[in-house]
Chains A and B, each alone.
Chain A
Amino acid sequence: MLVIKDLHAKIDDKEILRGINLEIKPGEVHAIMGPNGSGKSTLSSVLAGNEKFEVNEGSVSFNGKDLLDLAPEDRAREGLFLSFQYPVEIPGVSMVNFMRTAVNEHRKYREEEPYSASEFLKLMREKKKLVEIDSNLTNRSVNEGFSGGEKKKNEIFQMAMLEPKLAILDETDSGLDIDALRVVANGVNKLKSPERSTIVITHYQRLLDHIVPDYVHVLYKGRIVKSAGKELALELEEKGYDWIKKEFED
């Protein structure tokens, strides 16, 4: 589904990704962990198509297509979804209008008829239930005045609406209380299928108790320095990153 080869990316001449290799097959869950500033969000942004970062080497193929060649909106329409570490507030754009535009743009891309207002509202109601999001949130402007937890739930709600093939959850668990964490994890698990894959970026084991990864990778200084099964997450939880840093620097 996703094949990343020797990916390098920089911003203001500062190289942040320094040769990432990663392959994700349909149905797999990969966790990416690593200390702050190691490049996890940068990797997500580059995959989603943020033009702030310049890719200066490497390739990414997504379901056989050259991902780096696609505009950000087309990456989304091809089924890539990024749950932002810091979701953006957009005052004046209502959630309903935002989601209707997004869903219908996806449908148009697949050459399907746009949803009518009532079809759309029905879909929205279903998905709201699925991710247990408060109705009040969807009546407001996008993320405006949402608490940290509400913003993260809203990301999961959008994911449920768009039904991506590959979801990248960038620290969706940070700052969540236990209830919100459960909601986020349930949302992800309910959408799980043999065709859908997930990348979970996190610092903590606790989310991985709910969303069980097939592989755990450690990203450090712009490279994946260690990959193993889910037991690696437990080890990191216990010992921190220092031993990895040391190992890597030696």
Chain B
Amino acid sequence: MNKTCRIVNLQEEYSQLYQEHRSMIEDGAPEKMNALRAKAFETFIEKGIPSNKVEAYKYTNLQPYFKGTLDIAFSKEAALNGSSNKFHCSVPELDTHNVFLINGWFAHLEDAHQLPEGVVVGSIREKALEYPEVFEKYYGQNLGDDNDAMAAMNTAFAQDGAFVYVPKGVVVDKPIQLVNIMTGENDRLVFQRNLIVVEDNAQLKVMLCDHTISPQKFVINNLTEVFANENSVFDVYNIQNQHNLTTQVSGMYVHQKKYSNILTNNLTLHSGVTRNNIRVTMDDENCESHVYGLYLSDKNQHVDNYSFIDHAKPHCQSFELFKGVMDDSASAAFTGRVLVRPDAQQTNAYQSNNNLLLTQNAKINSKPQLEIYADDVKCSHGATVGQLDDDAMFYLKARGINENEGRILLMFAFAYEVIEKIRVEPLKENIRSLVEKRFRGEFDKCDSCVVCGHQGASVSCL
């Protein structure tokens, strides 16, 4: 059932919500999921929804966004609310395995038989029962010791999400696309919990696409745990494309074993308030990680990327690049925490954050945070904030290109570096054209889902 909850004082009501609905929350959920709830709930209630008084959330006070009158679904029927399987995705140039979730709950997998042998894709609560050894080995094991309040909230409340398992040596050629559709007649709070396990020598590419198709306010707390085991290759592209009334807190927790190579790319093309928590734990030797992000914001939009790369073992390399273009009164923040533990000799860690501010009112706070406890390491970091280059602009004008076209070319040129890092060719093409559209002001988040082309209601153009 959908429970409508009026949240004024945060902890008080969230606590009550949890306690009153505990049996529903736990009903049908895997044992391990339920076993972790109590402690997570304690952490969450103790810390609460972070305000900007919490150091890690200094630039994003989440409290106001988690207040209000919100619907929460405590069962699949309530989440789907009759909208079941009627979504279909068909963008010919993007050949993917499509998984649909509605308000955070698994709804539908297209063409399941086309998945390579042994690959498991489905609802986390269902697949956990079928594959208990995998689930119990990994679920909740990679949240680190930071006790992030939002991760704890997710662990306490989440009931469903996607489960993806790729067995040893299997290469999944086509990317798996997890499309989460947010819909409903009332404002809504959505939880989603994904678990992705890529076994030794396996390869997987995942796209996450959260899409609002009704004009209500949506508050999302999603969390994806990824385990990239020995010599695996894993990519995740998180395409954030929602209307301005959306608040999204998105956790991506990647755990790496020996010789694994991972890439995360948060492409925030349009959203209200976005907070991405990206944590990569390099827990074995010779890991390589690529952590990228592109944020394009205007009006009053706000994007906060908080990354934490944990170099726990020697001989690992991390490459981090975040770029942002801010227009109007948009604001953004970047924190790049890099921890090189005493053991992690011969670490290479590169980080950069570059920002383009188009107006006087746009704002960026960029904060590298290097904590280095080993001596044989190469670390570099750099942050830049700039405006459009006048000389380049004049050069373009001198060739007959007007101010507006010139701006688009130069903004695109700025964003280009992150787009080029996409390792899925058709997606790269797609993102290129979307970014260009976004800069042209033709980007119609209401018309279609960025990735799947899903038609949205035009009323959601906010």
Residues of chain A at the chain B interface (Cβ within 8 Å): 48-52, 71-73, 75-77, 81-82, 84, 87-88, 90-93, 97-98, 101-102, 105-106, 109, 141-142, 158, 162
Contact = CB atoms under 8 A, between A and B. Distances in A.
Contact of B400 (A52, A73, A88, A92): A73
A49 B390 CA distance: 13
B20 interface: no
Contacts of A49: 397-398
Contacts of A97: 409
Nearest to B406: A73
A38 to B, nearest CB: 22
B417 interface: yes
B410 A76 contact: no
Interface in B378-412: 389-392, 394-403, 405, 409-410, 412
A105 B400 contact: yes
A72 B410 contact: no
A84 B395 CA distance: 8
Mostly, the B contact residues are helix
B402 A88 contact: no
Contacts of A48: 394, 398
Nearest to A106: B400
A37 B395 CA distance: 21
A101 B405 contact: yes
A87 B401 contact: no
B405 A88 contact: no
A105 B414 contact: no
B397 to A, nearest CB: 4
B341 to A, nearest CB: 36
A172 to B, nearest CB: 14
Contacts of A84: 395, 398
A105 B416 contact: no
Contacts, number: 75
Given A48-B398, A73-B401, A93-B409, 7 more contacts: A72-B394, A73-B402, A88-B389, A90-B395, A90-B413, A98-B401, A98-B409
B397 A73 contact: yes
A102 B401 contact: yes
Of B389, B396, B398, most A-chain CB atoms within 10 Å? B398
A50 B409 contact: no
Interface in B38-97: none
A93 B410 contact: yes
A102 B392 contact: no
Of B395, B396, B400, most A-chain CB atoms within 10 Å? B400
Contacts of A142: 395
Nearest to A45: B394
Contacts of A77: 400
7 contacts: A49-B397, A72-B398, A73-B402, A76-B398, A77-B400, A101-B405, A102-B400
B25 to A, nearest CB: 48
Nearest to A109: B400
B410 A90 contact: yes
A101 B398 CA distance: 12
A50 B394 contact: yes
A75 B399 CA distance: 9
Of B396, B399, B413, B416, most A-chain CB atoms within 10 Å? B399
A88 B392 contact: yes
B120 to A, nearest CB: 41
Contacts of B417: 92
Nearest to B402: A73
Contacts of B405: 101, 105
B228 to A, nearest CB: 31
Pairs A-B, 4 closest by C-beta atoms: A92-B413, A76-B400, A72-B397, A92-B416
A101 B401 contact: yes
